[in-house]
Amino acid sequence: MNVITDHLPEFGSGLLLTVELTLLSLAGALVAGIVVAAMRVSPVGVLRAAGMAYVETLQNIPLLVWLVLAVFGLPEIGVKAGLFTTAVVVISLYQGAYTAEAVRSGINAVPAGQGEAARALGLTFTQSLRLVILPQALRTVVQPLGNIAIMTLMNTALAAAVGVVELTAAANRVNLAEAQPIWIFVAAGLAYMALSGVVGLATGTLERKLAILR
């Protein structure tokens, strides 16, 4: 147990970075997901195709490949960003593809009459989506979005592979010095579990609060 208490500062800063990565990536994923889902249901064919291409491209290449590509490829084409920033952007865009699909299923679950009523009142397509459809769609997909949040949290561990010293990388560093993998990684694992527990609780609370009467 000493191995954990001795290295609390390292674990602490790793944990903090994991939380930061998760929260920023989630915010980014939500924005990207809503924009792409809106594109996928838009009446404009080009936007629909672009939205679909986005989802297919992002989902069908592993996150680790995207991370390595971004970290080594972006400087080649003159884009210089810190490792943390690069990781946040890549994870956001990647999780954004999954978020888009969840949001789109929510949009499809809203009865067609809602959009018709909105358009019959003179709201534009974008206004109908923003004011009538999305608020109802998002309420129905709180649970899947919670799963995506947990998946995002777990996927931040991949940032370790490209040099971001988040929780997994911090644990790995401590292990290189102490060679006690079981204690060290069990501790890291428990920390991840605690974090996803918090996400799960938040999802449940949100779902109860936002449920709409039909």
Judged by CB, which is closer to another protein: 56, or 116? 116
Instruction: Kindly tell me which of 208 and 214 has the beta carbon lying closer to another protein.
Output: 214
Residue 198 touches another protein, criterion: CB under 8 A: no
- CB nearer to another protein: pick between 37 and 97: 37
Q: How far is the CB of 91 from another protein (least distance, A)?
A: 31
Residue whose CB is less far from another protein, 127 or 172: 127
> Which residue's CB is nearer to another protein, number 119 or number 173?
119
Long-range residue pairs from 210-214, CB within 8 A, at least 24 positions apart, any chain: 210/138, 210/139, 210/142, 211/139, 212/136, 212/139
Structural contact between residues 91 and 63, judged by C-beta atoms closer than 8 angstroms: yes
Minimum CB separation from another protein for residue 210, in Å?
9
Tokens 């931040």 — which residue?
156
Closest of 141, 143, 153, 145 to residue 196, by C-alpha: 153
Smallest separation (angstroms) from another protein to the CB of 117: 4
Residues 42 and 4: their CA atoms lie apart, in Å, by 52
Q: How far is CA 68 from CA 74, 86, 167, in A?
A: 10, 10, 19
How many residues sit close enough to another protein to count as binding (CB under 8 A)? 23
| Residue 150 Cβ vs another protein, minimum distance, rounded to whole Å | 26
The footprint of another protein on residues 79-138 (CB under 8 A) is: 111, 113-114, 116-125, 127, 131-132, 135-136
Measured from the CB atom, is 53 or 131 closer to another protein? 131
Cα gap 51→36, rounded to integer Å: 5
- C-alpha 67/C-alpha 71 separation (Å) is 6
Task: Quote the CA–CA distance of 16 and 30 in Å, as a whole number.
Answer: 21
What is the closest distance, in whole angstroms, from the C-beta atom of residue 106 to another protein in the complex? 12
Nearest to 129 by CA among 120, 119, 139, 121: 119
CB of 135 to another protein, least distance (A): 5
Options 43, 45, 78, 82; binder of another protein; rule CB under 8 A = 43
Residues of this chain that interact with another protein (CB under 8 A) are: 43, 111, 113-114, 116-125, 127, 131-132, 135-136, 139, 212-214
